[in-house]
Structure 1
Amino acid sequence: MATYKHFFFNSIANSEKFKAPPMMGAKPQIPKRNRITHSEKHLQQFNIIWETKKQLEIQREAEQIPTKEGTYLSFTSSVDHDLITKSLEDLRKGIRLLNIKEIVGENDHTSVRATVYIPKGKEGAFMGKIKAYRDNNNTSVVFQDQQDHNLITEEINKLGNNIHLKTIKDVNKKGIVQTKATISLPVGQEDYFIAETQRLFPEGKVIISPHNADLVNSIEDVGQALLESFWMDNIELIPDGYSKWCEVWLNINTKQNIERQQIEQFLTLIGNIDIEAKYHANGLEVIIFPERAVLLIKANRDQLIELILQSDLLAEFRACQEPAGFWVNESAVEQQGWVEDVLRRVEIIDTSVKICLLDSGVNNGHQLLKPLIDDHNTLTVTAAWGTDDHYRERGGHGTLMAGIAGYGHLEQLLTSSGNIILTHKICSVKILPRPGQEETPTELWGNVTAQAIARSEIQNPNIFLIYCLSITAKEGINMGRPSSWSGAIDNLAFGEGQNQRLIIISGGNIKDEELWQNYPESNYVTSIQNPAQSWNALIIGAYTEKTIVQNRDFREHLPIANQGELSPYSSTSIMWEKKWPSRPDVVFEGGNLLKAPDGSIFSHEDLELLSTSKTFGIKPFDTINATSAAVAQAAWFTAKIAFQYPNAWPETVRGLVIHSADWNPMMLNQIQAQQGNRKSFRNLLRTFGYGIPNLERALYSQESAFTFISQEHIQPFNFKKDSRTDTETNEIHFFNLPWPSELLLEMGETPVTFKVTLSYFIEPGAGEMGWKDKYRYGSHGLRFDVNNVGEKEDDFRKRVNKAAREEDEEIYTNAGASRWVVGKDNRSNGSVHSDYWKGTAADLSTCHYIAVYPIVGWWRERKHLGKVETSTRYSLIISLETPNQEIELYTTVKNMVEIPIEINNTLREP
């Protein structure tokens, strides 16, 4: 699927109506073939396939072993050439394209392999296409000047040799009228026909196009699909000789709503061949997409092969994520082999992005960390603390954080075979004293954080630094009220409005078995920890996908959380006062816990994340869990965005993380969130934030899903005219987006999702007095609004901006409030606001006017501090998405943006 960079604007302009031309794109690379020999080769391959299938069915029937009805075929392209995969599918005949895989060979040369399902009775479909390619030409002759149709017909039919004209018509191409004829041309007559046509009609252009030429020429080989055809990961991960949890993707019929019946049939089938399916407390673990269902099964190679022989529903197999315990429990020698495999595949990119870990220090002698962090970037706030990782646990803490912050999902990298591109590096500043040394007083936590940040910036000038803090405290939390530490972090992030910083903080953990016994209710009443009350930082909570323990000794144990639910370690802000921001902002994987038959609860390596151990001289791998693991992943995620968009502000990077996130069905079910029930969505936000970020969505737009990003400056307040004592709001920004209105109207009832995220940093209120009221804590606030369906530009301006109205003109201002899923009240706290609504394309065709406007803050109220006329920044992120991937939203907007357009992005109050 093609991806594109997001649209970045310095100013947003009025759009003109424009309909995009069809996408041209690069032509596929297809080798030239000898039609006769190439056709005969494939026909022979098909004959072998069908004869082999027939013999297998006879054998299995004699042994009374079930056999599937249809056939799985594997089509492969030539090396470094394309395969015309779209022509492999014929839905009318039930022929389905199941999967496509790129095969990397010697010297990185690649070919394409596609797996196709052929229903019983349709075995001759592809042979018919090959024979048509071999035996018939569909030849077009285009005449540059209009000709007499009767003359053309007469001359063509005189040629003999079974050559005859089929159709003839006039076409208008860019105002030039031409004549186009289609001729039936037998194989072997090509040279004769070209010579005679050019003699008779010198102005004609001959294009010989055999039936199905692109498809057949693109196929190098065809055969029955083997297990490797279905296995989408590294084939070395196919479980050979032992059973292993795997994902099975089924090709199901969701259009006719028979998917549940098909899944039940599949479960019966796998039961007959002793394959285990994964169940959780609420039943079967299954995820259903359009035309696909995903289940977890425990099987070995032989069982998977037998499944291919019996089931007509297969689309692909994937390796289930390998539990971290697999590597942790290997010997030192075996672990070292994995390390060396990673290092062979590492590619270091020149980068100006670094993650700065504010933690317990990092042991950068670890082989996997050497490419990421040198001695100059292992720093400390106090020399007596040292720079090494002193954390008492065997794996350390800062070193474990570094592995995930640097590499992301190590388990996935270890089980893959591709290159590993490092697009950012690591800096470590130790902010904790060693055991036995004097603890840092509570009132100095903010000061220590500031010193750590200063040291990293002195060491790394002109570097985009992302600060990652997983050290939290239970002290200083008061129903979400800011603390001196969180206030210091807000001040550091704001950076005097010019040197803004991106700071990421973990929400804090539950590490109490008594509380775990009451999961998840205990999580709902356990507060996010200090300094995660921060308004400007990106706050990270934890969910979990980890529910599988490989060791059979634990087969009677159950995971505390079901797949996709809140991690048992993660705290929430449900009990906070409503006026304070919802925390966390988003969630990443934080691991799970096991409950034994006797009721005891404990951790297990398989339910944690693999990373780099501080004791690398003994064993290079260990595991990490909870919101520490989650915030390290978040740091890696944000670094990818910062590398992709080097001109993005910290506000923008934070906004893209949140904008890309969504809740999975398990989260919605766990909180029982229902659209229209604002309280349930408030609890959802205060438990999971905006959900799980999606890296692909954060980094790229797609043809059917585009994202606008506008980085703007605004002056929220001003003194009234001829006064230095009376203040007022100063300006509203009004955006008229380049919007694909005509295309959206044509799409009609097609569903679309419209999402808006507004991200900015506030300057925290000076002193504890300012923390008693949300308006006084924040220097300013910003809000957004969007015009309603059918609401004209002028009416929208008047609704959101009183200064745009006539004197005493009354405007109804609440229209359209219910369309937003999160809701205005739920999204309005803090310094990042995100919401979305789903509707029809036709409805959204007119909704392209957006206003960003200020609300009161201490800059305006406390004018003696001299901040009334301060300008500040914000980032506005808007996206539009449709599930129909054939719709060219991105190209339509791109063509509009490339047309010179009138700038009109702000309105100022008089």
Structure 2
Amino acid sequence: MAEYEHRHIDLSGLSTTRDYKSPGSNARQRPLQRIREEHGQRIVGKLEAAFEASDLGRADLGTPEGAPPSDGVYLEVELAPSVGPTTLEKKREGTRQGAVTLSETGARRIALFVPDETRDVFEAVFRDYAFTEVDEGAEAPKKSRVEPVEHIRAARLRTFWRDDPLALPDDPQAEMWWALWCFADRLERVETSAQRLGLTVGGEDSWLHFPEVVVLPVHGRRAAIEMLLFSTGGISEIRRASDTPTVFTDELEEMANAFVDDLAERITWPGRDVPAVCLLDTGVNRGHPLIEPALAPGDMHAVHADWGVDDDSPSGHGSGMAGLALHGDLTMPLGDASRPMLAHRLESVKILPPDGFEQNDPGSYGAITTSASSLPEISAAERPRVFCMAVTNENRSGAEPTAWSSALDQISAGVDAIEEGPDHIRRLFVQAICNIADSSRAQDIADGDAFPGEDPAQALNVLTVGGTTLKSEIAEAGYRDWRG
């Protein structure tokens, strides 16, 4: 048992024991105490007012020229806080449930689309509850559907907003990229109307496909988005458009493996006789479904055999580089139905020792890199390859030539061999310009001049690459007003 310098904090006197109660069972929820006549008449009145307001709003917004006319309205239905999960959508009535949001009191507000042709059927549910005569002691009709409802009102744009409330612009003329979660069977209707409204719809390669919805990135004014929303009846929820992968890491975290497996099946994997990207890094863990088919065990090397070839680094740097070198940004491929075809494969050379081994001597960096580049060339001599090294010396700037940068120049120019000749190998070597330490404080990395190029990025014969990103939208909860 480990020994600790300080005593543990004792929380035993602060705990309470309760039996488990499933949040998904309506039977375990506290029953509502409704007076049927009062509640029924109040909700029917709210429903009539909501339909009237929705119809007036629809007339005021109008329909985009040349687009099909609106065939229904959206309502915002608020359920009582004590009510468990309840589905308002009914196929027989043609109603469709969209965004679900929580109020400050814990009440759930649901966007519900009601088609014009079945509006009478939907209204009858509430009228039957409110006005049907029942025998004493008998249950009112449609009680389970009506009594959970606390309020009904005409839906607003905010009803559909599933992002940071402060990120929704108040100005009708404010422009931004929006992520429109569209019902799959109304996608064409939404896309056509968006174009007629002058909105910019992202290309199909930027759409995210899910079983029942398709997410469209659309750029335009808030006023145009409102017209699109209420005239098409095809949008279930709205967020800020973002190419961050939080839809997989947060909203659909439990389905992440399924998305990975699906993409792995859609990819046409490369054969053996294709060019390779050879990574000089911390090694690679090839067991990942999106790496293994493109990285053979025989193409994994280490400068010292006793290091092993797997990625032992805490950050998984080499494995992350492997995924990036093979696929680039995975956000879109994971969510669409494309069939990527890979025309290159991977090779890996581990140039950094794992924990427990002596660290590399800075004076030997050049020799290590030269040795590393020779290993895949010996193993697969006929294969074309590009070398990639995202490792730099943080303790040495790239202001002057060094032994390491000179070694890269020799490797790239093909003059590293002892015996030169007309067939000496010239190599394309892609080298990172520097590495910046992780920091959660913007001021730590705000000054670009504080991070000069690092050794060996000053090598003249390599392709030195700096990094930039346009992924400035941060979607993680609690950080959505931050900028990347």
Interval of TM-score (by shorter of Structure 1 and Structure 2): 0.5 to 0.7
CA distance in 2, matches of 1:224, 1:541: 39
1:370 alignment partner in structure 2: 292
Name the SS for the 1:347 alignment partner.
coil
1:764 alignment partner in structure 2: none
1:537 maps onto 2:462 in alignment: yes
1:233 maps onto 2:204 in alignment: yes
Q: How far does residue 238 in structure 1 lie from its aligned partner after superposition?
A: 7.7
Match of 1:388 among 300, 307, 310: 310
1:343 maps onto 2:264 in alignment: yes
CA distance in 1, matches of 2:241, 2:390: 29
Is the Cα contact below 8 Å between 2:208 and 2:332 reproduced in 1?
no
Q: How far does residue 65 in structure 1 lie from its aligned partner after superposition?
A: 3.0
Name the SS for the 1:428 alignment partner.
strand
For 1:422, give the aligned amino acid.
L
1:488 alignment partner in structure 2: 407
Is the Cα contact below 8 Å between 1:347 and 1:421 reproduced in 2?
yes
CA distance in 2, matches of 1:547, 1:358: 29
Is the Cα contact below 8 Å between 1:406 and 1:426 reproduced in 2?
yes
Q: How far does residue 366 in structure 1 lie from its aligned partner after superposition?
A: 1.5
For 1:71, give the aligned amino acid.
G
Q: How far does residue 267 in structure 1 lie from its aligned partner after superposition?
A: 4.0
CA distance in 2, matches of 1:249, 1:512: 32
For 1:462, give the aligned amino acid.
E
Is the Cα contact below 8 Å between 1:321 and 1:412 reproduced in 2?
no
Alpha carbons of structure 1 residues 518 and 392: separation in structure 2 relative to 1, 3 Å: closer
- For the aligned residues, what is the CA RMSD? 3.6
Alpha carbons of structure 1 residues 330 and 427: separation in structure 2 relative to 1, 3 Å: farther
Alpha carbons of structure 1 residues 407 and 68: separation in structure 2 relative to 1, 3 Å: same
2:229 alignment partner in structure 1: 305
Match of 1:353 among 257, 272, 275: 275
Q: After superposition, where does 1:738-887 map in structure 2 within 5 Å?
A: none
Is the Cα contact below 8 Å between 1:356 and 1:466 reproduced in 2?
yes
CA distance in 2, matches of 1:514, 1:403: 24
Name the SS for the 2:261 alignment partner.
helix
2:356 alignment partner in structure 1: 436
Name the SS for the 1:509 alignment partner.
coil
Instruction: Write out per-residue CA displacement over residues 756-784 of structure 1, whole angstroms, 9 at most, x where no aligned residue.
Output: xxxxxxxxxxxxxxxxxxxxxxxxxxxxx
For 1:72, give the aligned amino acid.
A
Q: After superposition, where does 1:400-479 map in structure 2 within 5 Å?
A: 400-477=320-397
For 1:500, give the aligned amino acid.
R
2:255 alignment partner in structure 1: 334
Q: How far does residue 416 in structure 1 lie from its aligned partner after superposition?
A: 1.9
CA distance in 1, matches of 2:411, 2:239: 44
CA distance in 1, matches of 2:313, 2:259: 25
1:248 maps onto 2:173 in alignment: no
Alpha carbons of structure 1 residues 515 and 509: separation in structure 2 relative to 1, 3 Å: farther
Is the Cα contact below 8 Å between 2:275 and 2:345 reproduced in 1?
yes
CA distance in 2, matches of 1:435, 1:339: 30
Name the SS for the 2:395 alignment partner.
coil
Q: After superposition, where does 1:68-79 map in structure 2 within 5 Å?
A: 68=63, 70-72=65-67
Is the Cα contact below 8 Å between 1:248 and 1:318 reproduced in 2?
no
Alpha carbons of structure 1 residues 224 and 72: separation in structure 2 relative to 1, 3 Å: farther
Is the Cα contact below 8 Å between 1:502 and 1:537 reproduced in 2?
yes
1:547 alignment partner in structure 2: 472
Name the SS for the 1:534 alignment partner.
coil
Is the Cα contact below 8 Å between 1:380 and 1:452 reproduced in 2?
yes
Instruction: Write out per-residue CA displacement over residues 14-64 of structure 1, whole angstroms, 9 at most, x where no aligned residue.
Output: xxxxxxxxxxxxxxxxxxxxxxxxxxxxxxxxxxxxxxxxxxxxx956864
What count of residue pairs does the alignment treat as equivalent? 295
Q: After superposition, where does 1:523-672 map in structure 2 within 5 Å?
A: 523-555=448-480, 557-559=481-483, 592=484
CA distance in 1, matches of 2:247, 2:379: 38
Q: How far does residue 436 in structure 1 lie from its aligned partner after superposition?
A: 2.2
CA distance in 2, matches of 1:63, 1:321: 29
CA distance in 2, matches of 1:239, 1:418: 15
Q: How far does residue 525 in structure 1 lie from its aligned partner after superposition?
A: 3.2
2:60 alignment partner in structure 1: 65
Alpha carbons of structure 1 residues 319 and 346: separation in structure 2 relative to 1, 3 Å: farther
2:431 alignment partner in structure 1: 505
Q: How far does residue 321 in structure 1 lie from its aligned partner after superposition?
A: 4.4
Name the SS for the 1:371 alignment partner.
helix
Q: How far does residue 239 in structure 1 lie from its aligned partner after superposition?
A: 11
For 1:546, give the aligned amino acid.
K
Name the SS for the 2:313 alignment partner.
coil
Instruction: Write out per-residue CA displacement over residues 265-324 of structure 1, whole angstroms, 9 at most, x where no aligned residue.
Output: x34455xx4xxxxxxxxxxxxxxxxxxxxxxxxxxxxx8532669xxxxxxx99944422
Is the Cα contact below 8 Å between 2:243 and 2:471 reproduced in 1?
no
Is the Cα contact below 8 Å between 2:242 and 2:473 reproduced in 1?
no
For 2:204, give the aligned amino acid.
D
CA distance in 1, matches of 2:358, 2:287: 27
1:517 maps onto 2:443 in alignment: yes
Alpha carbons of structure 1 residues 468 and 508: separation in structure 2 relative to 1, 3 Å: same
Alpha carbons of structure 1 residues 487 and 343: separation in structure 2 relative to 1, 3 Å: same
For 2:190, give the aligned amino acid.
L
CA distance in 1, matches of 2:452, 2:395: 11
Q: How far does residue 537 in structure 1 lie from its aligned partner after superposition?
A: 1.0
Q: How far does residue 249 in structure 1 lie from its aligned partner after superposition?
A: 4.5
CA distance in 2, matches of 1:369, 1:224: 34
Instruction: Write out per-residue CA displacement over residues 817-845 of structure 1, whole angstroms, 9 at most, x where no aligned residue.
Output: xxxxxxxxxxxxxxxxxxxxxxxxxxxxx
Q: Which has the larger radius of gyration?
A: 1
Is the Cα contact below 8 Å between 1:507 and 1:539 reproduced in 2?
yes
1:325 alignment partner in structure 2: 246
Alpha carbons of structure 1 residues 507 and 515: separation in structure 2 relative to 1, 3 Å: farther
Alpha carbons of structure 1 residues 368 and 513: separation in structure 2 relative to 1, 3 Å: closer
Name the SS for the 2:431 alignment partner.
strand
CA distance in 1, matches of 2:239, 2:251: 23
Instruction: Write out per-residue CA displacement over residues 403-448 of structure 1, whole angstroms, 9 at most, x where no aligned residue.
Output: 1111122112112211110100000110011112111111100100
Alpha carbons of structure 1 residues 68 and 398: separation in structure 2 relative to 1, 3 Å: same
Q: How far does residue 225 in structure 1 lie from its aligned partner after superposition?
A: 5.5
Is the Cα contact below 8 Å between 2:270 and 2:294 reproduced in 1?
no
Higher percent of residues as strand: 1
